[in-house]
Chain A
Amino acid sequence: MSEPVLQIKNLKVYYYVEAGAVKAVDDVSFDLDFGVKMGLVGESGSGKSTMALALMRMIKPPGKIEEGQMILDGTDLVGLSEERMRQTRLRKLAMIPQGAMNALNPVMRIDKQLVDGMLDHGIVLSKEEREERVAQLLEMVDLAPKVGKMYPHELSGGMQQRVTVAQSISMEPDVIIADEPTSALDVVIQRQVMETINRLQQKLGLSIILIGHDMGLMAQSVDRLAVMYAGRMMEIGEIRAMFRNPLHPYTQLLIESLPVLDNKGVFSGIPGITPSLVNPPAGCVFHTRCPKAWDLCREKTPEFVEVQSGRWVACHLHTA
């Protein structure tokens, strides 16, 4: 089996504030194989957005990548110089942001914004080549060529998001990180944009990390699913297997809280609130809200172990 395109090993990202060190990402490891779509799901404060920034190596002070490795195509991103990292961005590792409305430069035309990334990565293009490439990219995301001459505020939310998708594929990177790309959109547009992303992924053979909090969306879009809670990874597995047989109690609760059309019952949430990331609970970080917790859970942090082929979980129920 070939090497995974992206390997995260024991990543720790801490934010140093007056109250102490906020352990936004605490000892997270996972692999992303070539051509796989992986979902990263969790509630707010779970650390998933920090993961996105960390992967792009855009964590700003007072945050810091404390420990760990992020190996992309054989190179550890953590140790790279700033300039090498800049060159890696977009070319090998691209991002689709949340809320495209704010992600596009308001005073710049779309075509210029689509192209400037390539220019800064050393690709020399003549004026005609630039126009051609812009038309190509716009077509790939189902946008009319005239969009190139427009400004961001003249486009709808869905169109803006598609521009950011076009930007991310402009240099055909190895990995795309989509940070809640559809959260700011309504369901209809959401579907359209996700379809565009899926289509491109298949066509260009990209590997995608899709970050979000919507389990339903994950179920429809990804191959593998990673569940995070309070900065730690709880469970990773193939999507259908996860839904059929969730091993971690948190995953179970997340799935149960999904509303089902033909089952008109009571909405169930997950009682309790996320713990402090400065002083996480001892033992398993989820034990305060876990319906199945027992003494061991309060004392010892469970290890993140591969309990079946391709299925990892951090829970004493399965690893003790």
Chain B
Amino acid sequence: MRIPLSYVLKRIGFLIAVLFTAATINFIIPKLAPRDPVQELINQKIASGGLTSEGAAEFRDSLRTLYGLDKPLWQQYVTYIWNTMRFDLGYSITNYPVRVDFIIGQTVFWTLGFVGTSTILAFIIGTVVGAMVGWSKTSKWFSWLMPPLASFSAVPAFIIALVLIYFLAFKLKAFPLRGGYSPTIEKDWASTDFLLDVAHHALLPGLSMLLVSVGGWSLGMRAMMVTVEGQDFITFAEAKGLKGSRIFFRYALRNTLLPQVTALAMQLGLIVSGATLVETMFAYPGIGNRLGAAIAALDYPVIYGIVFFMVVGIAVATLLVDLLYPFLDPRISYSGG
């Protein structure tokens, strides 16, 4: 398949534009806010008793030089963009001198674990359920699934999480209330015990996300199935005497895959936002929870750093899905855009 460079470049160009805009917003907003990160840090240090007011002035000046705050604004911007491109997102205020990228690295994989699994599972289950409900040849009993699924999809994931925590973790004591793994178990990724414990802890957070997403996917899939089924090529497939299963899978389902995947790409941002709140509910050691903690402490570099990282991640993932399209639908060639 020919892959014209122009298409890929165009998409990457847009990605860069988005990242640039996000980074710029990230730069401008703190500048607009009447906060001085250096002063904040100083205050923190004074409050924690590590600094006296005499040493403070000197420390402040050296910090300002370190952060480049004594330079003109445009130079700060350029340095900022340059740093951001190299993923140098600065230092945390509350946990100085821990670097923001280090914090991200520590937490992001926890998030990817349960979010990735639950998203993929929800996509598959939701698509299949939605397709079966929407296909007129399947039993009508399936449509009873829709109201509960739809209700779940309307309510935000962290609310579902609250319900799950209450009933399954607190009352039934079947699952842990919080955390990524038990404090009593040794953190050894090679041990099956540890892995099982991690899975046990990841189940409720994952389930919260799954219940909410499944509803959304099946609603969308059902609508698409109904549309596809009304199309002429389905009628003609029936006129050819094709078996029902072939028509369902090869004719109907195949044609709804592209819109479903498109929908997946568009949902990525919402999934990440939802995961953030779910993690805070469970005190799960993921990047979302870390963001929540940073907000509580008003640790600005961490807040901006994590947000920017999330934006980058989502934008890149969206781009990858975009590049996948022509493989899903032969009508779309890269030159069409």
Contact = CB atoms under 8 A, between A and B. Distances in A.
Interface of A: 56, 58, 86-91, 94-95, 97, 99, 102-108, 116-117, 120-121, 151, 153, 164, 167
Contacts of A103: 232-233, 235-236
Interface bracket on B:
20 to 34
Contact of B233 (A95, A104, A120): A104
Given A103-B235, A116-B250, 12 more contacts: A87-B241, A89-B240, A89-B241, A94-B239, A97-B239, A103-B232, A103-B233, A105-B255, A116-B242, A116-B246, A120-B242, A120-B243
A104 B235 CA distance: 10
A160 B113 CA distance: 47
A117 B254 contact: no
Nearest to B235: A58
Interface string B304-337: 0000000000000000000000000111000000
Among A86, A87, A151, A167, which residue has the most Cβ atoms of chain B within 10 A?
A: A86
B61 interface: no
B237 interface: yes
A153 B255 CA distance: 14
Contacts of B241: 86-91, 117, 120-121
Contacts, number: 74
A102 B235 CA distance: 10
Contact of B232 (A58, A99, A117): A99
B331 A106 contact: yes
Contacts of A153: 330-331
A121 B329 CA distance: 28
| Nearest 8 CB-CB pairings of A with B | A89-B241, A102-B232, A103-B236, A90-B241, A117-B240, A95-B239, A151-B330, A120-B243
B251 interface: yes
B48 interface: no
A164 B233 CA distance: 11
Among A87, A88, A95, which residue has the most Cβ atoms of chain B within 10 A?
A: A95
Nearest to A150: B330
B193 interface: no
A102 B239 contact: no
Given A89-B239, A95-B239, A108 B250 contact: yes
Contacts of B239: 56, 58, 89-90, 94-95, 97
B231 interface: yes
B70 interface: no
A105 B331 contact: no
A90 B239 CA distance: 7
A237 to B, nearest CB: 29
Interface string B220-241: 0000000000011101111111
A195 B241 CA distance: 26
A116 B249 CA distance: 13
Nearest to A90: B241
Nearest to A95: B239
A95 B242 CA distance: 13
21 contacts: A89-B238, A89-B240, A90-B241, A94-B240, A95-B236, A95-B239, A97-B235, A97-B236, A102-B231, A102-B232, A102-B233, A103-B233, A103-B236, A106-B233, A106-B255, A106-B331, A116-B240, A116-B242, A116-B250, A117-B240, A151-B331
A107 B255 contact: yes
A295 B331 CA distance: 60
Contact of A107 (B231, B240, B330): B330
Contacts of B240: 89-90, 94-95, 116-117, 120, 167
A97 B233 CA distance: 10
A68 B235 CA distance: 24
Nearest to B240: A117
Given A106-B255, A107-B255, A153-B331, A117 B242 contact: yes
Contacts of B251: 105, 108
A107 B246 contact: no
A295 B226 CA distance: 50
Among B237, B241, B243, which residue has the most Cβ atoms of chain A within 10 A?
A: B241
Contacts of A88: 241
B296 to A, nearest CB: 50
